[in-house]
């Protein structure tokens, strides 16, 4: 169980309070994101006009296409700057199944590659609402299966980890479950799950967060789920809400979340269920951290990123 002191207001670092105020003020000054079509919001986000700062592109990144269930899927790989690849980290980006891209977190993936010896491979899966469920999960499943086949030869390793942020953490767990249940495979050695949305019917923290513009509000979650499930789907289905799944036989996982994240309960609940299923689980809770606060420079961000690096390095030996 996490230390109750982590959730008290006086546990929040002053730097984090200032950062949250700056983020909220920036978002309040922006146009309502839901007044634009998804493709416009994607373009604005790619230019750094949303809540997250723009990320420079890595000169080391290599992009290539693999066969997917409905056409090519683009993968973006960043290898360690020095030394041989010790394994592959399959990364799935966030963005509410609607926004984001594989090339919008290159600095973080470079850091993972250099700190752990893992080649980071990020998936450009199809996005809602143009491509609602099950398109995104299908593409992530296909990318994982490719890594188990041709990817072993390309990267000369079968050591695999998986992870992602927000919707990416959700898709990472769905991918693990699909490999286990549809293919009888449990090939991943670690799961790095950051601020995931694991119950699309909404956990209490997601429902109660309200309209505060601290990166992710209750309204945002509701709209993202609506886009993702545009063609229907039962939130009680474990393929949609992995919190409802049988979680036995999954790899060690690190759950990272801030206490000012609307999806706080998703990580708290999933970490408990992960452990109850007999799996190793670590829960890292950061006082006052907003949704995916790791995208913003701060002392708390460095603390969180360093812990993720240690976790992935430990499980790539």
Q: What is the pLDDT along the chain (317 residues), one digit of tens a residue?
A: 789 999 999 999 999 999 999 999 999 999 999 999 999 999 988 888 788 888 899 999 999 999 999 999 999 999 999 988 999 999 999 999 999 999 999 999 999 999 999 999 999 999 999 999 999 999 999 999 999 999 999 999 989 999 999 999 999 999 999 999 999 999 999 999 999 999 999 999 999 999 999 999 999 999 999 999 999 999 999 999 999 999 999 999 999 999 999 999 999 999 999 999 999 999 999 999 999 999 999 999 999 999 999 999 999 87
Taking CA 242 as the corner, what is the angle to CA 239 and CA 248, rounded to the nearest 5 degrees?
A: 105
Q: What token pair was written down for 75?
A: 């993968």
Report whether 90 contacts 147 (CB < 8 A): yes
Q: How do 71-78 and 87-92 pair as beta strands?
A: unpaired
Report whether 257 contacts 289 (CB < 8 A): yes
Q: What token pair was written down for 296?
A: 């913003």
Place of tokens 């790095």: 192
Report whether 33 contacts 221 (CB < 8 A): no
**Residue 137: closest CA among 42, 228, 266, 267:** 228
Known active-site residue 261: yes
Known active-site residue 291: yes
Among the listed residues 291, 304, 315, 316, the single catalytic one is 291
Which pLDDT score is estimated for 84?
Answer: 86
Which pLDDT score is estimated for 317?
Answer: 74
Distance between CA 237 and CA 96 in Å, rounded? Answer: 18
Q: How many residues does the chain have?
A: 317
**Residue 87: closest CA among 186, 192, 163, 189:** 189
Strand order of the sheet with strand 188-194? Answer: 62-68, 71-78, 118-124, 87-92, 160-165, 188-194, 253-258, 281-286
Task: Supply the pTM of this predicted model.
Answer: 0.97
Distance between CA 289 and CA 270 in Å, rounded? Answer: 18
Among the listed residues 261, 265, 266, 316, the single catalytic one is 261
According to CATH, what is the number of the domain 23-254+285-314? 3.40.50.1820
Phi-psi region of 95 (alpha: psi -120 to 50; beta: other; left: phi over 0): left
CA atoms within 13 A on the CB side of 23: 28
Known active-site residue 239: no
Taking CA 52 as the corner, what is the angle to CA 240 and CA 43, rounded to the nearest 5 degrees?
A: 80
Which pLDDT score is estimated for 50?
Answer: 81
Among the listed residues 122, 166, 241, 267, the single catalytic one is 166
Q: How do 71-78 and 118-124 pair as beta strands?
A: antiparallel
| Helix (H) / strand (E) containing 44 | helix 38-46
């Amino acid at each position: 169980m996490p230390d109750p002191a982590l959730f008290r207001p006086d546990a929040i670092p002053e730097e984090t309070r200032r950062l949250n105020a700056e983020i909220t003020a920036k978002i309040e000054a922006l146009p309502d994101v839901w007044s634009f079509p998804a493709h416009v919001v994607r373009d604005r986000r790619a230019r750094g006009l949303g809540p997250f700062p723009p990320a420079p592109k890595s000169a080391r990144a290599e992009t290539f296409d693999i066969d997917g269930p409905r056409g090519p899927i683009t993968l973006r790989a960043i290898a360690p700057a020095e030394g041989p690849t010790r394994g592959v980290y399959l990364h799935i980006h966030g963005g509410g199944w609607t926004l984001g891209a594989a090339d919008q977190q290159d600095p973080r993936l470079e850091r993972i590659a250099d700190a752990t010896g893992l080649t980071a491979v990020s998936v450009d899966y199809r996005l809602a609402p143009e491509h609602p469920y099950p398109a995104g999960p299908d593409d992530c499943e296909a990318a994982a299966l490719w890594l188990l086949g041709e990817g072993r030869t390309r990267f000369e390793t079968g050591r695999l980890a998986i992870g992602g942020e927000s919707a990416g953490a959700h898709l990472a767990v769905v991918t693990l479950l699909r490999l286990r249940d549809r293919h009888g495979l449990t090939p991943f050695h670690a799961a790095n799950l950051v601020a995931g949305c694991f119950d699309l019917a909404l956990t209490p923290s997601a429902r109660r967060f309200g309209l505060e513009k601290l990166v992710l509000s209750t309204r945002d979650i509701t709209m993202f789920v609506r886009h993702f499930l545009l063609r229907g789907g039962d939130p009680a289905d474990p393929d949609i809400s992995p919190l409802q799944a049988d979680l036995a036989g999954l790899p060690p996982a690190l759950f990272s979340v801030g206490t000012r994240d609307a999806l706080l309960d998703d990580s708290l609940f999933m970490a408990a269920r992960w452990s109850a299923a007999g799996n190793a689980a670590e829960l890292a809770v950061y006082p006052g951290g907003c949704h995916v606060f790791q995208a913003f420079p701060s002392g708390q961000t460095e603390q969180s990123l360093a812990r993720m690096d240690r976790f992935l390095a430990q499980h790539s030996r």
